[in-house]
Structure formats: structure tokens, C-alpha cells
Amino acid sequence: MSNLSKSLLLLAGVVLLSTAAYTAVFRPLILGWGASPSEATATLPGDAMAPYTSSTRAVTIDAPQEVVWQWLVQLGGDRGGFYSYTILENLLGYETDNTIVIVPEFQEMKVGRLVVATPPSAKGPAKMSWKVVAVDPGKYFVLQGWGAFVLRKAGPGKTRLIVRTHGWATPTLTAKLGYFFTMPLHYLMERRMMLGIKARAETGPGVPLSTLPDYLWLAGVFLSLLGVIALTFLAHGIWQSMATLVYGVLWLWVCLTADATPGFALALLALVAATMVWFARGRLRGSRVN
């Protein structure tokens, strides 16, 4: 078997092992990120409006419920943005600006209103929108095609933000596979949105929020993925191949489960880079011997 065939076989093994780990371990974790068992099983507004519940995620915010609502109600491409990864939002065509202020004219939420993915002037392809189908000001609203956004008191000056994402019909195998593999991206964006609301509610309006940690985390995750792929072509022998398989699962852990901070992503990047050097030196020594 040629070296290229061995590398492609190892790459396929990384993909298969990572998919199995995602299905068995990481997917259940991201579907219930931050939510307690009682929150995950509780009946929430809008449950009867969707085919099924896809995920229930939650985060505790050190701010009163009425303050959190002021930020939550501003969701929308034509309002305060989505408080998520700006660079990914722009790549997906959303072209939104994530505000750091509370805008009085954005504080109204009514049934029938459309929460749009992009501003009306945007030229990108992402023209999605979600219709408000239920609302109780200060407590919750439900977006058709997305899910329920619920606020509950969690003690003096604390609030639980619960986001229950609704599933949608997947009548074909292609639709099922598409749903299965796009869920991690939805999770990454939704988790960052919830943490973005948390950061704004806790720091207060007008406080500049640095995007540098986001960029460092994204760079670490992306470059680490490229590094893991490179390892499949540098690995030689059983132990290096096994190490590469482990790195594939480790990458999933950093991307999906570990805190979305630069530390984990950059540490993984450094580890992968050091391993690439180790593998490359081994290959070089082997070629000299031969």
C-alpha cells in the first residue's frame, strides 16, 4: 500500500472515529449545554408549535431579569444583531452589527413581527427570518423555525436564560444528514449568542467588548483542524497513527465542550504543531536511513 493510500485511510479513520465520538459523547452534551435535567425536560412556551425539541441550552446571568430582557429583545439583523461570532456571521452572509447599547426603539416585541437574519440593506445570501408567534414581555418569546427564548429568576439579581431550539421535519436521508452535521455550527453560534447576552447584561451598556478572544479561539480551532489533517499525512507507524486518531477526538472536545476561550484552542494548536514537528523529523530520519 502506498504512503498516500495509508494517509487517506488514516484520514478516513479520523473522520469515522470523530463522528462516532460526536454521536455517542459530544452531541448529547451540546444539545443540553448548560441546562439542568429539570430544564431540559420542562414544558416551555412554544413546545406544541414544533415537530420536536432539538435542544435546550441555558446560562446563568448575574443581572436582573428585566435587564437581560432589554438585551434579548433586541435580537435581529435589523436591530441589535445576534451577539455571536461576528466573523462567522459575516461569512454566512448575515452582515449584522452586534450592539453594545440598549436602544429604546428596539424594546418592543409583538406577535407577528419578523426577526430577520440580515439588515434590509444587506447584499448577502442569508435572507432568513423568524416570525414571533408568542410573547410575554419580560419573560419569553417564541420564534417560528427557531424556538423559545425564556427568562427565569435564579436568585437575587440573577437570571437563567433558556433557549429551546425546535427541530424541523427531515423527510429524506439527505435532510437528516444535513440536520445532523449542521447542528454543531448552530450550537457554536447559539452558545456564543447566549454568552454575548450574558457579557452585555453583566457589564452594562456602552462598555466596549473586545472581539480578540473570539478571533484567537476561532484561529486556534481552525488551524488545529488543519494540523490534525496534516498529521494524517505525516504519521508513520502504529503509534503515530493512534496519536492522530486521538487528536481528532481531542479537537472535537476543544471545539464543542471546553470553554470557548483562547487558552484551550491555542494550547491544542501548540500541541498539534509540536506533534507535526515530531512526525516530520521521524519521516526525515526514516528517509535518510533508507
Residue at 131: amino acid letter: K
Task: Give the per-residue pLDDT at 126.
Answer: 60
Task: Give the per-residue pLDDT at 168.
Answer: 76
Cell numbers placing 104: 429604546
Task: Give the per-residue pLDDT at 177.
Answer: 80
* Residue 174 shares a structural domain with residue 219: no
Q: Which of 209, 233, 265 is the last residue of a domain?
A: 209
Look at 49-58, 123-132, 217-226, 271-280 and tell me which has the smallest mean pLDDT. Answer: 123-132
Average pLDDT over residues 125-129: 72
The domain containing residue 265 runs over which residues? 3-24+214-289
Task: Give the per-residue pLDDT at 206.
Answer: 87
Residue that the C-alpha cell 476561550 belongs to: 261
Q: Quick check: 230 pLDDT over 70?
A: yes
Higher pLDDT among residues 181 and 124, named by residue: 181
pTM: 0.89
Q: Quick check: 270 pLDDT over 90?
A: yes
Q: Report which secondary-structure segment, H or E, holds 273.
A: helix 262-289
Of residues 281, 270, 202, the one with CA closest to residue 234:
281
* Residue 152 shares a structural domain with residue 249: no
Distance of CA 51 to the CA centre of its chain: 23
User: Are 143 and 130 spatial neighbours (Cβ–Cβ below 8 Å)?
Assistant: yes
Distance CA 169, CA 172 (A): 9
- Positive or negative CA dihedral for 40, 45, 50, 51? positive
User: Are 227 and 276 spatial neighbours (Cβ–Cβ below 8 Å)?
Assistant: yes
Q: Quick check: 289 pLDDT over 60?
A: no
